[in-house]
Amino acid sequence: MAIETRTHEAIEAEFAEELKSGALVFKTIDISEPTNEYIADKYEIAWSSLLVSNWRNGKETYDNITEYAFANARTSPDKFKNGVAQKLRTLLK
């Protein structure tokens, strides 16, 4: 829960315009639902994860930052939010 909450806080604080315009999309996906199984397979995840995905010219690249998220979201929330924001700024360039 901390990861989702802190990620949402970081995105709302730093990227309100990008969210509003649709340049940035934040999604929470329950991979335990049968309709979302393909997502778990595609990204090779089996439990709570944090992925940052970027689409350019119809091609996707993504980073799995789950380890960073679990290490920092609860114990160092400001560090976590800054790291997420920095990652997103890089991808939005």
CA dist 87 → 10, 52, 64, 68 (Å): 11, 8, 11, 12
Cα four-point dihedral sign 38, 46, 15, 89: negative
Give tens-digit pLDDT for 70-91.
999 999 999 999 999 999 999 8
Question: Given this model, what pLDDT does residue 91 score?
Answer: 87
Residue 3 has pLDDT above 90, yes or no: yes
Amino acid, single-letter form, for residue 78 = D
- In 3D, which of 61, 93, 83 has the Cα closest to residue 11? 83
Question: Given this model, what pLDDT does residue 93 score?
Answer: 82
Give tens-digit pLDDT for 30-52.
999 999 999 999 999 998 999 99
DSSP 8-state code for residue 31: T
Question: Given this model, what pLDDT does residue 42 score?
Answer: 93
5, 11 Cβ separation under 8 angstroms: no
Residue 26 has pLDDT above 90, yes or no: yes
- pTM (two decimals): 0.84
DSSP 8-state code for residue 35: G
Task: Report the share of the chain in percent with pLDDT over 70.
Answer: 100
What are the E-state strand segments in the chain? 51-56, 59-64
